[in-house]
Amino acid sequence: MSDSTSAVSTSIVSEIFKYANHVVLFFLSLPLAQRLSIIILAPFVYNLSYQFLYSLRKDRPPLVFYWIPWVGSAVSYGTKPYEFFGDCQKKYGDIFSFVLLGRVMTVYLGPKGHEFIFNAKLADVSAEAAYTHLTTPVFGKGVIYDVPNSRLMDQKRFVKGALSSDAFRLYVPLFVEEMEKYLKNSKNFKFNENDSGKVDVMVTQPEMTIFTASRTLLGKELRDKLDTDFAYLFTDLDRGFTPLNFVWPNIPLENTRRRDNAQRVISNTYLSLIRERRANNDIQDRDLIDSLMKNSTYKDGTKMTDQEIANLLIGVLMGGQHTSAATSAWALLHLAERPDVQQELYEEQMRVLDNGKKELTFDLLEQMPLLNQMLKEVLRLHHPLHSLFRKVMRNIQVPNTSYVVPKGYYVLVSPGYTHLQEEYFPQPTTFNLHRWDNDSASSYANGEQVDYGFGAISKGVSSPYLPFGGGRHRCIGEHYAYAQLGTIMSVFIRNFKWKFPDPSQTVPKSDFTSMVTLPTGPAHIVWEKRHPGQKL
């Protein structure tokens, strides 16, 4: 820089200081009330000017108008996301951005949005940057979103070792055993003593899910621990798994302390069992622990530590717990309204199980299209995850538009919204399992395939029906979930008829504010044995 330019810039700086000084003195000369109102109004004025200038940019998706700085559209999005998306779609089209607690979220609705976000390039978007604050304190270090994507792809491959058809052949009888034990022992049913009763599906379904999942994926020892005080730790862990933690992962509350304690104790308990099996050279093909003990060496030769294996167990169980529990709860509620569908499903059970003479098996479950279509329809109406996110790591051009989504924004995809659009699913809010009569597979399976490191999956993700997501972060629990949910529902359908306590009642509304979309509780059903006096 030459002397003259630096002299000029020095004088500009001193002019700015003088000017700022005048502004400050003027501000201080104002009466207190005016000073306060300026302090309060300034962010709003700034916010409105920012939104006005933003609206002039042709290279940005339209920004949803908001009044309150930082908070943005958090209330309307957070309480009724699908209504919010629908309103925005009418005003702005399929692509728009909104402010959510200091972040800018760019939404792309519909099948093209599925493709844009689920199949975005690895270097362009990051799931770990979007989710790690929420998940890492709950799962623990070194797994899922606390590792680079290539490690996650390997971990998903390791887990798939315990999610094969051969494994499901072992699991289905164990699911049945757990269900029967639950019906007999739970104070909610007391099957052998009572012919009827009333239960809250928001209590029973999470319990059935954790018992069946633990028995199969973690083995008998850890399942049995759930009948002890150990079970409370899962409640503590769950309470630390809320959308609040996205924003304040370590908010100094009692819940956070209990979450961290639960993570430590649970993962150390899993670790002890892993060490015990190693010490006894007792590694078989029973459960997920066995398969991770056999198969957890990354492609580059690094081995997962036993602590990381323990943390991965927490992550996988957590991934399946809320999604499956919500799905069977919704299934029970929809069927409560439809005795005709219960009857249809019952007839299918009797046909395939030879009037109850055959025990349920994985292979027989696969011969029950109506049961699978019922689950498929429930997942259409109630996608457990209304929004999926990625953080934008590099500016990305939105194909066929003038929009660029800049680094630092988040992109949001919502297959659950697409599931409810008339153009893809006629009479979208009607529960109709026959809409899948020619298509009972749980997800689309045709077309070109791709392998990101955890097995071949469909390359295209522009299907309007994506309950399990798509691309490199696609769910690996789909077939496990169908086996587990199919068994739970088969046991219900064969043993009970059920309805709402009050005949005028209908399926509860969705509560979108927790981690998965749940029925607004309490969600009671009244059950009655199909065969009064029957014992298990």
Residue number, 195 or 224, with CB nearest to ligand NAG: 195
Single out the residue of 97, 106, 327, 458 in contact with ligand HEM (rule: CB under 6 A): 327
Residue 385 found at the interface with ligand HEM (CB under 6 A): yes
CB of 415 to ligand HEM, least distance (A): 7
Residue number, 48 or 203, with CB nearest to ligand NAG: 203
Q: From residue 413, how far is each of 361, 406, 485 by CA, in Å? A: 36, 17, 25
Token pair in block for residue 215: 């028995």
Residue 324 found at the interface with ligand HEM (CB under 6 A): yes
Token pair in block for residue 61: 């998706």
Alpha helices by DSSP H, listed for 195-300, are: 201-213, 220-225, 231-239, 244-247, 254-279, 288-294
Residue number, 169 or 190, with CB nearest to ligand NAG: 190
Residue 2 found at the interface with ligand NAG (CB under 6 A): no
Name the helix (H) or strand (E) containing 216. Answer: none
Select from 19-27, 191-199, 267-275, 487-495 the region that touches ligand NAG (CB under 6 A).
Answer: 191-199
- Which residue, among 40, 9, 35, 37, has the nearest Cα to 24 in the 3D structure? 35
The answer to whether 72 touches 105, Cβ cutoff 8 Å, is: no
Residue 125 found at the interface with ligand HEM (CB under 6 A): no
Contacts of 110-115 with CB under 8 Å at 24 or more apart are: 110/418, 110/421, 110/464, 111/418, 111/424, 111/462, 111/463, 111/464, 112/462, 113/413, 113/414, 113/418, 114/413, 114/415, 114/418, 114/461, 114/462, 114/463, 114/464, 114/466, 114/470, 115/460, 115/461, 115/462
Select from 143-151, 185-193, 408-416, 504-512 the region that touches ligand NAG (CB under 6 A).
Answer: 185-193
Token pair in block for residue 37: 């109102």
Single out the residue of 2, 4, 438, 504 in contact with ligand NAG (rule: CB under 6 A): 438
CB-neighbour burial class of residue 481 (10 A; exposed 0-12, middle 13-18, buried 19+): buried
The answer to whether 497 touches 340, Cβ cutoff 8 Å, is: no
Single out the residue of 280, 400, 429, 446 in contact with ligand NAG (rule: CB under 6 A): 400
Residue 197 found at the interface with ligand NAG (CB under 6 A): yes
Residue 29 found at the interface with ligand NAG (CB under 6 A): no
Residues paired with 100 in a beta bridge: 72, 103
Select from 79-87, 173-181, 474-482, 497-505 the region that touches ligand HEM (CB under 6 A).
Answer: 474-482
Q: Which does 316 bind (CB under 5 to 8 A by kind): ligand NAG, ligand HEM, none?
A: ligand HEM
Single out the residue of 97, 132, 188, 458 in contact with ligand NAG (rule: CB under 6 A): 188
Residue 323 found at the interface with ligand HEM (CB under 6 A): yes
Closest residue to ligand NAG, judged by C-beta, is 197
Residue 116 found at the interface with ligand HEM (CB under 6 A): no
Mark residues 140-179: x for contact with ligand NAG by CB under 6 A, - for none: -----------------x--xx------------------
SS3 528: strand
Q: Which does 508 bind (CB under 5 to 8 A by kind): ligand NAG, ligand HEM, none?
A: none
Residues paired with 527 in a beta bridge: 197, 498
Q: Which does 531 bind (CB under 5 to 8 A by kind): ligand HEM, ligand NAG, none?
A: none
Residue number, 203 or 247, with CB nearest to ligand NAG: 203
- Amino acid, res. 459: K
Residue 473 found at the interface with ligand HEM (CB under 6 A): yes
| Residues that contact ligand NAG, how many (by CB under 6 A) | 18
CB of 160 to ligand NAG, least distance (A): 5
| Residues that contact ligand HEM, how many (by CB under 6 A) | 22
Subset of residues 287 to 326 that bind ligand NAG, contact rule: CB under 6 A: 294-295
The answer to whether 377 touches 432, Cβ cutoff 8 Å, is: yes
Determine the distance from the C-alpha atom of residue 5 to the mean position of all C-alpha atoms in its chain, rounded to a whole number: 58
Single out the residue of 31, 301, 399, 503 in contact with ligand NAG (rule: CB under 6 A): 399
CB of 491 to ligand HEM, least distance (A): 17
CB of 199 to ligand HEM, least distance (A): 21
Residue 105 found at the interface with ligand HEM (CB under 6 A): no
Residue 384 found at the interface with ligand NAG (CB under 6 A): no
Alpha helices by DSSP H, listed for 56-164, are: 74-79, 81-92, 111-118, 127-139, 149-160
Residue 383 found at the interface with ligand NAG (CB under 6 A): no
CB of 277 to ligand NAG, least distance (A): 16
Residue 494 found at the interface with ligand NAG (CB under 6 A): no
- Which residue, among 201, 479, 526, 489, has the nearest Cα to 348 in the 3D structure? 489
Residue number, 244 or 404, with CB nearest to ligand NAG: 404
Region of 100 please: left (phi>0), alpha (psi -120 to 50) or beta: beta
Contact residues for 179 (Cβ-Cβ < 8 A; gap 6+): 208, 212, 487, 488, 491
> Does residue 339 have a cis peptide bond before it, meaning omega lies within 30 degrees of 0?
no
Cα separation, 164 vs 436, in Å, equals: 25
Residue 59 found at the interface with ligand NAG (CB under 6 A): no
Cβ atoms within 10 A of the Cβ of 312, count?
25
SS3 142: coil
Residue 31 found at the interface with ligand NAG (CB under 6 A): no
Is 88 marked as binding a ligand? no
Q: Which residues bind ligand NAG (CB under 6 A)?
A: 112, 157, 160-161, 188-190, 193-194, 197, 294-295, 399-400, 434-435, 437-438
Q: Which residues bind ligand HEM (CB under 6 A)?
A: 127, 152, 156, 316, 319-320, 323-324, 327, 379, 384-385, 388, 467-469, 473, 475-477, 480-481
Q: Binding site membership: which residues?
A: 475
Q: Binding site membership for heme: which residues?
A: 475
